[in-house]
Amino acid sequence: MTQANRLQELCESQGQSPWLDNLRRGWITSGELEHWVERGVRGITSNPSIFQKAIEKSSDYDDEFGDAIGGGESVEDAYWQLVTSDIRSALKILRPVHDASDGVDGFVSIEVAPAIARDTAATTASARQLHETIDQPNLFVKIPGTSEGIPAIQQMVSEGRNINITLLFGLERYGQVIDAYLTGLETYDGDLSKVVSVASFFVSRVDTEVDRRLEAIGTEAALALRGKAAVANAQLAYQLYLERFSGERWDALVARGARVQRPLWASTSTKNPDYIDTLYVDTLIGPNTVNTMPEATLDAFDDHGTLARTVDADPDAARRVIDDLAEAGVDMADVTNVLEREGVSTFEKSYDELLGALEGKAAELQSGGRS
């Protein structure tokens, strides 16, 4: 029997599922995605930035895009055709993981259009349409965890739809997301065991913003806190998860078959080269969690990651870090609000840039540039 690698051990011994934070057609057609699954990847996340890079930097999509444009599709409709095609193929590859895990893993995530992140009605309608169009049990539709996204999350859960809540940075917003999930479950009159959700808490971007502020403050005490905020923030999010998924309210839902909404650690590649490349994996390991990583981080963890339960090893230390940040002059509420706005803006920019590039490609094809 082959010895399990670190990615497999992460799930088997620690209860954390490693997911791949990337998707491109070349991986699907070459068998690379299947190889990742064999190595231990148990789910896939995507976002507009990922698809921008995949489509703009590859010719893999040209034929299908040209056929769609030639058939009279708009550029935006053609884009969604390309994306849903990749998602369907990935769903098929991950379906055995989904079935073997009793519906816990094997998910592939697709995100609603970034431009509607501040529009509750449009987000709700888009999420519903994506679920109905793709219609696979291992599909997650990603809804941004903005204030406008909260009612859409609750509505989707109340309809029994599987949702990945994305772009979470702050504890207050995360609490609202948990409440929306619980309320949605309480409203749903179907089989609660079929409703699955994750809450994607972004990690490394917190350090990027906080470190910038600490360096601007410049005191010795402030500089000593660099590289500590993101992990502490995520570890306190896990404490909130433990608190909210317990007690009478949760017990009543468990009696109806409900599953916890697992915390998912996103943005876990290390942006600062001074920090260890597995920083945001090694420090956030614990049961009923997911860590979605780009391929370089998956490789790094498989090579030299630390396998130990760390996410709740010392919550008091995490609280002290947040207290010390406040004392140094860093307002974490402002940090997370800024990051939420920037996150929505970044995805919207990627989406707009991609559509612009596709407009140019469509014009070229229509003028006879297609070979």
Could you please report the per-residue DSSP string of 322-347? HHHHHHHT--HHHHHHHHHHHHHHHH
The β-bridge partners of 44 are 20, 108
pLDDT tens, the chain, 371 aa long: 456 799 999 999 999 999 999 999 999 999 999 999 999 999 999 988 888 888 888 889 989 988 999 899 999 999 999 999 999 999 999 999 999 999 999 999 999 998 898 999 999 999 999 999 999 999 999 999 999 999 999 999 999 999 999 999 999 999 999 999 999 999 999 999 999 999 999 999 999 999 999 999 999 999 999 999 999 999 999 999 999 999 999 999 999 999 999 999 999 999 999 999 999 999 999 999 999 999 999 999 999 999 999 999 999 999 999 999 999 999 999 999 999 999 999 989 888 988 888 888 888 777 765 44
In the block, which residue shows the tokens 């696979």?
136
Measure the N-to-C terminal CA separation of the chain; round to a whole number of Å: 50
Q: Are 91 and 131 in contact (CB under 8 A)?
A: no
Q: DSSP string covering 210-261, please?
A: HHHHHHHH--HHHHTTTT-HHHHHHHHHHHHHHHHTSSHHHHHHHTTT----
Query: For residue 367, what are the CA distances in angstroms to 99, 361, 362, 363, 370?
Result: 47, 10, 9, 6, 8
pTM: 0.95
d(CA 164, CA 176): 14
Domains contained in the chain, CATH given: 6-364 (3.20.20.70)
Closest CA to 332 of 230, 179, 217: 230
C-alpha of 290 from chain center:
9
Tell me which amino acid residue 71 is: G
Closest CA to 307 of 12, 37, 3: 12
Q: Please return the burial class of 83, using the count of CB atoms within 10 Å of its CB with bins 0-12, 13-18 and 19+.
A: buried
Residue tagged active-site, from 53, 57, 92, 142: 142
d(CA 179, CA 268): 25
Residue-level pLDDT at 350: 86
Q: Please return the burial class of 371, using the count of CB atoms within 10 Å of its CB with bins 0-12, 13-18 and 19+.
A: exposed
Residue-level pLDDT at 1: 42
Q: In the 8-state DSSP scheme, what is residue 141?
A: E
Residue-level pLDDT at 12: 97
**Measured over all CA atoms, what is the biggest interatomic distance in the chain, rounded to whole angstroms?**
66
What is the SS3 assignment for 148?
Answer: coil
The upper half-sphere exposure of residue 301, i.e. CA atoms within 13 Å in the direction of its Cβ, equals: 34
| R_g of the chain, CA atoms, integer Å | 21
The reply to whether 271 belongs to the active site is no
